[in-house]
């Protein structure tokens, strides 16, 4: 089944690339937020930055058919609203016809490739606002890392501000994922996940753009999450956490964060798509229950 699916995609891309825009035009859209006021997005934009590892498996996300299979399983679960991904992955899902009636968020800035000298240069290399509108997507997501010792961070802030303004002008969600970051010895970049620094990143990112009317924040689950959420009135989605951490601890922390005021759902990726037990559907359903969906 998987090989036939992959071959179908390869043949369409070779002989009928216009099938992508046709599939986007046919896609049945739905409101971003359900009646329960919650949103459950599966994130799959990691490969676009070369971040293919999950836990101790450095190339876990390298097999595209395997990734698509996991995404298809996730999107079939009734608790899931949609997916966040780069153009290549969203277009594969469009061609497979699995985005009908689902939310589709386009990942915008993937320029900060992991383990490179320019990792903190989060310039916009994927979706832009015009294409998000033309493809009928439901919003755009951007990474916004702020590094005090890297002057290039201000360019990222400016670009994110422009994208937020552009998406708001189209009444589309701008999903901003902020981090206070620093470069360690060598090329390694680390996000500061202390509560104070996450709060500082929230304060800066929430102020970006000419309006925050359509801005949502995608935030890590940290020790004092209640203080973090109290730093903003913007809708908050929590991200899936470190896939290298103990899986049970990660899911428990996510479930606890989902009960905080202002947290409207989650945008989780590797921690749910690549569980230790291999049960993607089971992990998705567990998080849906934590979200209050039965």
**pLDDT, tens only, 69-78:** 999 999 999 9
Report the alpha-carbon distance of residue 280 to residue 80 in Å, rounded.
12
**Averaged over 33-60, what is the pLDDT?**
95
Beta strands in the chain (DSSP E): 39-43, 82-85, 103-107, 139-146, 173-183, 189-191, 215-219, 236-239, 263-268
Q: What is the mean pLDDT of residues 11-34?
A: 97
Backbone angles phi, psi at 82, to 5 degrees: 175, -160
Tokens of 101: 């009636």
pLDDT of residue 60: 95
pTM: 0.95
Q: Report the C-alpha dihedral over residues 170, 202, 241, 99, rounded to 10 degrees.
A: -10
The vertex-213 CA angle with 211 and 216, nearest 5°, equals 110
Please calculate the CA angle 286-191-268 and round it to the nearest 5 degrees.
Answer: 20
Average of per-residue pLDDT across 89-110: 98
Proportion of the chain above pLDDT 70, given as a percent: 96
Phi, psi of 104 (to 5 degrees): -130, 115
CA–CA separation, 161 and 211 (whole Å): 9
**Nearest by Cα to 67 from 49, 41, 85, 55:** 85
CA dihedral 19, 86, 255, 289 (to 10 degrees): 0
d(CA 39, CA 239): 12
- Residues with Cβ < 8 Å from 236, sequence gap 6 or more? 216, 217, 218, 219, 229, 262, 263, 264
DSSP, res 219: E
Question: Quick one: CA torsion of 108, 205, 174, 144, rounded to 10 degrees?
Answer: 10
Query: What are 170-216's pLDDT values in tens digits?
Result: 999 999 999 999 988 777 899 999 999 999 999 999 999 999 999 99
Give which of 145, 140, 141 is closest to 118, Cα–Cα.
145
- Return the pLDDT at 165: 98
Question: Please, which pLDDT band fits residue 243 given cuts at 50, 70 and 90?
Answer: low
Residue-range domains of the chain with CATH = 2-290 (3.20.20.70)
């Amino acid at each position: 089944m998987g090989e036939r699916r992959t071959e179908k995609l390869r043949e369409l891309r070779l002989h009928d690339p216009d099938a992508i825009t046709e599939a986007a035009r046919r896609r049945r859209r739905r409101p971003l937020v359900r009646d329960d006021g919650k949103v459950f997005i599966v994130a799959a934009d990691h490969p676009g930055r070369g971040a293919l590892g999950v836990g101790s498996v450095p190339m876990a996300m390298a097999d595209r058919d395997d990734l698509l299979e996991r995404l298809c399983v996730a999107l079939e679960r009734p608790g899931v609203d949609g997916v966040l991904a780069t153009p290549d992955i969203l277009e594969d899902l469009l061609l497979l016809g699995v985005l009908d009636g689902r939310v589709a968020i386009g990942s915008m800035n993937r320029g900060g490739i992991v383990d490179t000298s320019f990792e903190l240069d989060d310039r916009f290399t994927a979706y832009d606002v015009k294409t998000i509108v033309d493809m009928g997507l439901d919003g755009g997501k951007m990474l916004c890392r702020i590094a005090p010792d890297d002057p290039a961070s201000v360019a990222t802030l400016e670009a994110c501000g422009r994208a937020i303004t552009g998406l708001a002008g189209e009444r589309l969600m701008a999903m901003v994922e902020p981090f206070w970051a620093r470069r360690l010895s060598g090329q390694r970049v680390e996000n500061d996940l202390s509560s104070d620094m996450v709060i500082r990143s929230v304060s800066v990112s929430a102020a970006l753009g000419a309006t925050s009317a359509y801005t949502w924040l995608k935030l890590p689950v940290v020790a004092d999450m209640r203080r973090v959420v109290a730093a903003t009135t913007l809708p908050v989605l929590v991200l899936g956490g470190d896939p290298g951490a103990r899986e049970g601890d990660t899911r428990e922390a996510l479930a606890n964060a989902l009960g905080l005021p202002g947290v409207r759902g989650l945008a989780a990726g590797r921690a749910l798509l690549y569980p230790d037990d291999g049960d993607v559907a089971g992990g998705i359903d567990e998080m849906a229950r934590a979200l209050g969906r039965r």
